[in-house]
Amino acid sequence: MSGSTPVASLDHEGYMKQALELAKQSPPQPTNFRVGAILVDEASNRILATGYTLEMPGNTHAEQCCLLKYAASQKVEEEQVADVLPPNAVIYTTMEPCNKRSVGNVPCVERILATQKGVHGGIKTVYLGVTEPEKFVGQNVGRTRLEAAGIVCIDVPGLENEILKVATAGHVAE
């Protein structure tokens, strides 16, 4: 992430703050949450890729952008990203990965689960800022599905109010 401050190893709040700064780059829309995500090699404390909602063409989500950008950096298609992830890949995301997409695209939970087919077992931990509000697709069971598949989900507390404020910018008040 160009211009970002280096984050100390295992500084989960530091990575979540950087993910929040990414979310702020997402254009406010009435039909999307503004989310930021950072894919990290936890062993080396190296950022592998970053992403935010609508960063890439199409109705793209933050986690999707991370995986697409990492795949491109490794010169593979997204379907092969599992084979090039390091053994200690984790992802920080300001909001629980979606389990259902209201329009097209594969849900982010499916993308994360697909990484488990890789030689190193894919993404093993998802660090979360907030649970997805039940605004667009109802109750999100993304965390439940990830945990059922053996992926550890860890809440990173302290930024919830700011994350939700950024995530819902552009939404019409009900």
Closest CA to 64 of 30, 18, 114, 16: 114
> Tokens for 116?
């488990």
Average pLDDT for 60-78: 96
Question: What's the confidence (pLDDT) of residue 147?
Answer: 94
Describe the strand order of the beta sheet including 89-95 as a list of residue ranges: 46-52, 36-41, 89-95, 125-130, 152-155
Residue 8 included in any domain = no
pLDDT per residue as tens digits for the range 95-126: 999 888 766 789 999 999 999 988 888 999 99
CA–chain centroid gap for 138, Å, is 19
- Helix 12-23 and helix 160-167, axial crossing angle in degrees, nearest 10: 20
Compute the distance between CA of residue 169 and CA of residue 151 in angstroms, rounded to an integer: 30
Read off the pLDDT band of 134 (50, 70, 90): low
- Catalytic residue of the set 21, 55, 63, 132: 63
Residue 123 included in any domain = yes
Residue 1 included in any domain = no
Question: What's the confidence (pLDDT) of residue 1?
Answer: 46
Residue 4 included in any domain = no
Residue 164 scores a pLDDT above 60: yes
pLDDT per residue as tens digits for the range 137-150: 556 788 999 999 99
Domain range for 50 is: 13-167
Residue 150 included in any domain = yes
CATH code for the domain in which residue 30 is found:
3.40.140.10
> Tokens for 133?
């509000």
Compute the distance between CA of residue 96 and CA of residue 23 in angstroms, rounded to an integer: 13
Residue 66 included in any domain = yes
Q: Are 20 and 166 in contact (CB under 8 A)?
A: yes
174 tagged catalytic = no
Residue 135 scores a pLDDT above 70: no
Q: Are 74 and 102 in contact (CB under 8 A)?
A: no
Q: Are 29 and 13 in contact (CB under 8 A)?
A: no
Residue 2 included in any domain = no
Tally of CB atoms within 10 A around 57: 6
Total structural domains in the chain? 1
Residue 3 included in any domain = no
Read off the pLDDT band of 3 (50, 70, 90): very low
